[in-house]
Structure 1
Amino acid sequence: MSALLENPTARVRWLAAPSSPAWLEQAIARPDLVLIDHAHCERKAAGVALQLMFRYPSDEQLGALLSALAREELEHFEQVLALLQRREVPLRPLAAPAYGSSLMAQVRKGEPQRMLDSFLVAGLIEARSHERMALLAAHSPDPDLRELYGELLASEARHFGLYWVLCEQRFGREVTVERLEQLALAEVEALSGELAQDDLVRMHSVGVTPAADSARQSGRR
């Protein structure tokens, strides 16, 4: 595996607002639903990496890095699937939240903007997954889930770090940061609101703390 994938030097604030206590409470209350959805998310993430590989076939570095990324995402899918099987929970289709489609709608059509936006959207999704897995690793009452999510944290951080490095190499830091700030606001908008039903909780279902509330909470610490 490339050293770039192992050690991305991405020190950047991806998320514009943290996940809310309500999302964590909902996710802890329906752990099997979140686990099933997590399996689907890992499979989709592998598909995104492969899609980008095929979209830009002449970029050899991109192909090598995204091929490795796709393999790792599928390994994570297999880990989640194995836990589902041990728990005798069948992998079944779930209604997806609007999160992913809302973010993809932000991707501009023309190149090279399409490449930049596609990398940043993929990175934002990975960053939100990492943040929520960290919450579950810290707060889930289920030791199997704490172990699983804890094991995946380092690699999830590498994934959004890789997308950052790909952007910065191709577009420069200033352009990348400016566009990331715009897309991060759209990402928060996609997660804003309240869950209509408890059985709709997903890894990327709605539930963020508004920036102003987050700042007030930080000030009280």
Structure 2
Amino acid sequence: MNLELLLSPVNDFLHCSTPLAWREQARKPENLSLLLNDHLICELKAAQTGMFLVRKYVADKETSETLLALLRPYEVFAFSDGPEPDFLALHKALSKKLMPKTQGDWEQALIDSMLLLIKEELHHFWQVREIMLARDIPYVKMTASRYAKGLLGQTRTHEPLMLIDKLICGAYIEARSCERFAAIAPYLDDELSSFYLSLLRSEARHYQDYLSLAQQISGSDIQERVKFFGELEATLIQSPDDTFRFHSGVPVSG
């Protein structure tokens, strides 16, 4: 894998790199459990986002309920102290056969890209969970950082502008995930470093898929909104943050 070639468009898209203070905090062994727990939930939330977009903007009621039922075991595990989800069962069940038939180009593009994203994010969820189990790291529910809420709180409130803004936010979240995986990898042991580097390709593609969908749906240039959210995202990353998470800002304490 040519990391420089892969990360170059990601870094060009983002308006800032991860601050050194975050990297220094992330490299501390005592924070590994926190980061893995937060990473686990980030993967689930990414899958939830893809599922939400399909259900809200494309799926009929029956398909929507079927998709929701497939994701529910993960949500029950993560938020309601439920049993371990059966990853293989969901991975096999989640296929294009479940997806609604659509005539529109952007609707089909949304289905195709989000189906792949959901499957990949849930695969990453299970990979993180396996690492935690192998290292005897317990799953602990944690509060979310301000990051995603800070971005999504600035989306416009009428369609299709809301959808376009949500997709742009999704692009920044995925791009930042990619950048942070690369940032943290050099500080980890060989197994974890290899794991995080293995995630870069899919995360880099996810941000491009989100951005492409936003442009396709808009029909007009979206660069003004891309810039708006890029500046907002950089502010969240570069400003002091009293909650240390995978997507948090500059830690306020050591």
Alpha-carbon shift at residue 195 of structure 1 (Å): 4.1
Gaps spanning 5+ residues in structure 1: where?
1-10, 209-221
Find out whether 1:42 has 2:89 as its counterpart.
no
Find out whether 1:130 has 2:178 as its counterpart.
yes
Quick one: higher RCO (CA 8 Å, sep 6+), 1 or 2? 1
When the two structures are aligned, how many residues end up with a matched partner? 194
Query: Taking structure 2 as the reference length, what is the TM-score of the superposition?
Result: 0.72
Q: Could you give the per-residue CA deviations for residues 137-190 of structure 1, whole angstroms, max 9, x where no partner exists? A: 2x2142222011011011110110111111222224x62222110011111222
Residues 109 and 213 in structure 2, CA contact (< 8 A), matched pair in contact too: no
Aligned partner of 2:140 among 69, 87, 92 = 92
Residues 215 and 222 in structure 2, CA contact (< 8 A), matched pair in contact too: yes
Match of 1:7? none
Q: Could you give the per-residue CA deviations for residues 116-135 of structure 1, whole angstroms, max 9, x where no partner exists? A: 10100011000111000011
Which SS does the other structure have where 1:191 is aligned?
helix
Residues 136 and 145 in structure 1, CA contact (< 8 A), matched pair in contact too: no
- Give the root-mean-square deviation of aligned CA atoms: 1.9
Following superposition of structure 1 onto structure 2, how do residues 1-221 of structure 1 map, counting pairs within 5 Å?
Answer: 13-29=12-28, 30-57=31-58, 59-137=107-185, 139-172=186-219, 175-196=221-242, 200-207=243-250
C-alpha distance in structure 1 between counterparts of 2:56 and 2:204, whole Å? 24
Aligned-partner residue type, residue 206 of structure 2: H
Q: Could you give the per-residue CA deviations for residues 61-98 of structure 1, whole angstroms, max 9, x where no partner exists? A: 31232122111110010111110111110111112111
Larger radius of gyration: 2
Which SS does the other structure have where 1:18 is aligned?
coil
Gaps spanning 5+ residues in structure 2: where?
1-8, 59-101
Residues 19 and 238 in structure 2, CA contact (< 8 A), matched pair in contact too: no
Residues 97 and 204 in structure 1, CA contact (< 8 A), matched pair in contact too: yes
C-alpha distance in structure 2 between counterparts of 1:182 and 1:157, whole Å? 20
C-alpha distance in structure 2 between counterparts of 1:62 and 1:36, whole Å? 29
Match of 2:63? none
Residues 187 and 193 in structure 2, CA contact (< 8 A), matched pair in contact too: yes
C-alpha distance in structure 1 between counterparts of 2:16 and 2:124, whole Å? 26
C-alpha distance in structure 2 between counterparts of 1:62 and 1:17, whole Å? 28
Residues 14 and 180 in structure 1, CA contact (< 8 A), matched pair in contact too: no
